[in-house]
Amino acid sequence: MTEQNLNTEPSNSTKHVLPAVFSLDVIIPYMENTTEESWCTDVVKTKDGKNCLFGHLFDLGGGELFDWFENIATTYMVYPVNDGKNENYQQPTPKQRCVAYLKDLQSGKAKTTYQLMDEEFERYSSAK
């Protein structure tokens, strides 16, 4: 299984150095400090300035952070959490659901995109 450290830069084999914002240690407190009223469901950003998790990520670190985060948790994983459609995250607001999800990603309780892909590959390989 591929292991990812979600709080540090990529391995030494990667030449591109990521900004400090590319860490759940930075992202989680940022999200905790957003207002409940700044969150929305069903879209990334609204015309009146509200955001889902990805909109807040974009505000924090632009498209590069958005792309980095999609390697941890794709939109297919995040939107159901943000919008209250994931049975594991039924907190009353999008902010509360997403912060809980981010903390679960950080602790390893929730699996990353690559962990889930590895599991699926193992299931596929063992079924042959």
DSSP letters along the chain, please? Answer: -----TTSPPPTT--SPPPTTSSHHHHHHHHHTS-GGGB-SSSSB-TTS-B-HHHHHHHHHHHHHHHHHHTTS-HHHHHHHHTT-STT---SSHHHHHHHHHHHHHHTSSPPHHHHHHHHHHHHHHH-
Task: For residue range 74-125, list pLDDT tens digits in order.
Answer: 999 999 999 999 999 999 999 999 999 999 999 999 999 999 999 999 988 8
Look at residue 20 in the predicted model and tell me its pLDDT: 64
Indicate the average pLDDT of the chain. Answer: 87
How far is it, in rounded angstroms, from Cα 18 to Cα 2? Answer: 20
How far is it, in rounded angstroms, from Cα 33 to Cα 37? Answer: 12
pTM of the shown model = 0.81
